[in-house]
Amino acid sequence: MSQYAALLLAIPLLAAFAMPLTGLIGKRIRNSWAIIAMLATVTAALLLVWEVLTQGTIVYAFGAFDSAQAIPFDSGGVPIRILFVIDAMSAFMILTAAIMMFAATLYSISSESEQTGQDGYYALLFLLMAGIFGMVSTGDLFNFFVFLEINSLAGAALAAYRIKGGVAVEGGLKYAFISTVAGLFFLIAVGMLYGQYNSLNIAYIASVIDFTGLSLVAVVLMIVSLAMKSGSVPMHFWTPDTYSSAPSSITALLIVSSMASLYAIFRIAFSLFGLTMNVVTIGWVIIILGILSMFIGVSMALPQKDVKRLMAYHSVSQIGYMLVGLGVGVAVLGDAQMLAQFGVVAMEGGIFHIINYALYKGLLFLIAGAVIYRCGTANLNDLGGLGHSMKWTMGFFIIAALAIAGIPPFNGFASKLMIYESVFIFNPFIAVIAMVVSIMTLASFVKVFHSMFMGPKLPQYETVKEVPMPMLIGMGLLAVLIILFGLFPDLVVNTLVEPAALALLDRSGYIASVMGGI
């Protein structure tokens, strides 16, 4: 049993709790510790992903020498150990989180260099990452709740970290509150399942689940709570408040955090409940949330004057695409013919969009942070002419903006195309809405481009220069990946996305990966 799964948690936790100690020695040592820990975590994540893609699903039993001991002989066939079940879908999410962690940590080294309280900042950043890695790896519902809480608390503290006259504190408080309420109702739902099936293990519950009235209550509470955590309309109101007030590198990680909640919706829908629930109704619920998110998100983004609030509303809009793609997969789960005809492609489009979205939206928030870092404002009315002095940042912005608008040959186009074409067969009306939303997204980012980078050099920004190298490297990495994912989409889909979609669909395989060890 390889130890990468354990290291995925152990390294960020160790890094987080040792951070204040390294800070006592010196700033340079603390920053070096943060970079070394980040590199070690990312390496463990990449090795784990490689192992899953080459060997199949990995079950890691904490406290056991072998994954075959996941179910102790005297437990009556019930897995009671803490288990990580990492299939291709989890590996896909781990890879997404690792890439974003690399870029955001590197970026933070420069963007936060002049700020106070960096020990706590990096400690919380690593706790946030530990929470995200735990959420997408665990095979246990209660553990998921624990990681959700770790992630939420660290995220709220980081969102409020730069007080900004109380605005950031308000954003952090709102995030903490909605996360706590969502976590509480998720826990109630877990209790309902535990009361019925005497276990917290996802695979075990999936193997014995019967869609009772209590299970119905549980699935609704879980999906709606996680939809609020992922920022879906009409529970999206916290996203502009929190995303706009958090440091930009943290906003990029909060994006991944919302993706982890989205992942949980699909894990619950496909692996936990599967065909035992009314997939058509639940699928349509997810699709409706997706359509609302797409349209309301983009239409609220268009009139915004604060660049980070504008981008936050676009986050809501982009989540809609993923909800629609995977919602169609849920809705046709019971019909093998429709699933084969377009359901799998819709799911692949939705999953592909997760990593694409993380890349370009993360990059856009880092660019917004770079502009704020140099100009001290996020107000689009006050900005202008930065293309003269921040050429690299402008280049990265063009790449990210074209990607989010779904312009070929960037990565956003490939995943959106998969969603458009498959969803069109399911319901043409939804595909038309998705395309209109893309056009509105492009219009919105034309506005941002014009406001920030075009026009003559403004007198107040006469001395503005390009951001420091670590920030450029962090942004550049994401820009390069956007281009590569756009140029070789088939490679990404065949290597990462398709196995992830098939892993979600293979409910019996997921159950067997844990229960097969009896």
Partner 1 sequence: MDFTATLFTGTGFWNPIIWILAFVITSIVAYLIWRSGVSTYQKGTEQVKPYLSGNAEPEKSAVHIGGGNLYWGFTEGLKGYYSRLVPLHTGDLNDYMLWYFGVIIAVFALVVIFL
Of 47, 280, 338, 502, which one interacts with partner 1 (CB under 8 A)? Answer: 280
Residues 442 to 501: which contact partner 1 by CB under 8 A? 443, 447-448, 450-451, 455-459, 486-491, 493
| Residue 202 is a binding residue for partner 1 (CB under 8 A) | no
Q: What is the longest distance spanned by two Cα atoms in the chain?
A: 76
In angstroms, the CA 275 to CA 211 distance is: 9
Q: Give 356's contacts (C-beta < 8 A, 6+ positions apart).
A: 403, 411, 412, 414, 415, 482, 485
In angstroms, the CA 138 to CA 83 distance is: 6
| Residue 214 is a binding residue for partner 1 (CB under 8 A) | no
The site map against partner 1 for 147-186 (x = CB under 8 A) is: --------------------------xx--xx--xx--x-
User: Are 8 and 44 spatial neighbours (Cβ–Cβ below 8 Å)?
Assistant: yes
Distance of closest approach, residue 246 Cβ to partner 1, in angstroms: 16
Q: What is the dihedral of CA 159, 161, 167, 173, to 10 degrees?
A: 60
The site map against partner 1 for 291-310 (x = CB under 8 A) is: -----x--xx-xx-x-----
Residue with tokens 């704020």: 372
Distance of closest approach, residue 408 Cβ to partner 1, in angstroms: 5
Residues 377 to 436: which contact partner 1 by CB under 8 A? 379-385, 408-409, 413-414, 417-418, 421-422, 424-425
Q: Residue 503 corresponds to which tokens in the numbers above?
A: 């892993």
The alpha carbon of 271 is separated from its chain's Cα centroid by a whole number of angstroms, namely: 19
The alpha carbon of 357 is separated from its chain's Cα centroid by a whole number of angstroms, namely: 9
| Residue 282 is a binding residue for partner 1 (CB under 8 A) | yes
Distance of closest approach, residue 299 Cβ to partner 1, in angstroms: 7
**Which of these segments, 22-30, 218-226, 474-482, 499-507, binds partner 1 (CB under 8 A)?**
218-226
Return the number of other C-beta atoms located less than 10 Å from residue 173's C-beta: 17
The site map against partner 1 for 426-445 (x = CB under 8 A) is: -----------------x--
Of 281, 376, 428, 436, which one interacts with partner 1 (CB under 8 A)? Answer: 281
Distance of closest approach, residue 80 Cβ to partner 1, in angstroms: 31
CB-nearer residue toward partner 1: 34 or 176? 176
The alpha carbon of 85 is separated from its chain's Cα centroid by a whole number of angstroms, namely: 19
Distance of closest approach, residue 74 Cβ to partner 1, in angstroms: 39
User: Are 298 and 318 spatial neighbours (Cβ–Cβ below 8 Å)?
Assistant: no
CB-nearer residue toward partner 1: 440 or 478? 440
Return the number of other C-beta atoms located less than 10 Å from residue 395's C-beta: 15
Q: How many residues bind partner 1 (CB under 8 A)?
A: 72
| Residue 221 is a binding residue for partner 1 (CB under 8 A) | yes
Residues 12 to 31: which contact partner 1 by CB under 8 A? none
Radius of gyration over every alpha carbon of the chain, rounded to an integer in angstroms: 22
User: Are 70 and 79 spatial neighbours (Cβ–Cβ below 8 Å)?
Assistant: yes
